[in-house]
């Protein structure tokens, strides 16, 4: 049985519940200073912009906006529900969608017609974990 339970969309999770849920569902994400966060490493500016644009689209569609730290070869995404003053279902749901989209590798899916980015430094844009 997990160390957390689903809550209403604006009910705040405790630090222990957040840690347990991240371990269960989003192991690459951490909880620091009141935020859940994830650093995506890219292969350079082009990849960074692609990640920022993907996250921006998802956040705007969800109407739940993260804080981003953007540099040449990484993007850090930080989520917290400002209105609720803590981490809520909204944060976990958006984090899951961001993780699924940014880390998607079509060539990794068996039987996929999509090959994915060639294994060539000229075309790589994200450094997959």
Question: What structural domains does the chain harbor?
Answer: 15-103 (3.30.1360.20)
Q: What percent of the chain has pLDDT over 90?
A: 73
- Residues 83 and 49: their CA atoms lie apart, in Å, by 28
- Cβ-based neighbours of 41, under 8 Å, separated by 6 or more: 73, 74, 126, 127
Bridge-based pairing of strands 74-79 and 30-32 is unpaired
Helix (H) or strand (E) holding 71: strand 67-71
pLDDT digits (tens, 9 = 90+) for 40-68: 999 999 999 999 999 999 999 999 999 99
Tell me which of 8-12, 34-38, 53-57, 108-112 is least confident.
108-112
Q: Is pLDDT above 60 for 1?
A: no
């Amino acid at each position: 049985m997990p160390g957390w339970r689903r809550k209403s969309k604006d009910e705040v999770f405790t630090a222990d519940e957040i840690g347990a849920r991240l371990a269960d569902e989003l192991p690459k994400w951490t909880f620091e200073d009141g935020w859940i966060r994830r650093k995506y490493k890219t292969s350079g500016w082009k990849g960074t912009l692609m990640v920022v644009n993907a996250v921006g689209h998802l956040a705007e569609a969800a109407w739940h906006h993260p804080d981003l730290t953007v540099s040449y070869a990484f993007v850090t995404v930080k989520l917290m529900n400002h209105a609720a003053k803590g981490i809520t279902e909204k944060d976990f749901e958006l984090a899951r969608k961001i993780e699924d989209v940014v880390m998607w590798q079509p060539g990794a899916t068996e039987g996929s017609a999509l090959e994915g980015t060639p294994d060539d430094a000229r075309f790589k844009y994200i450094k997959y974990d």
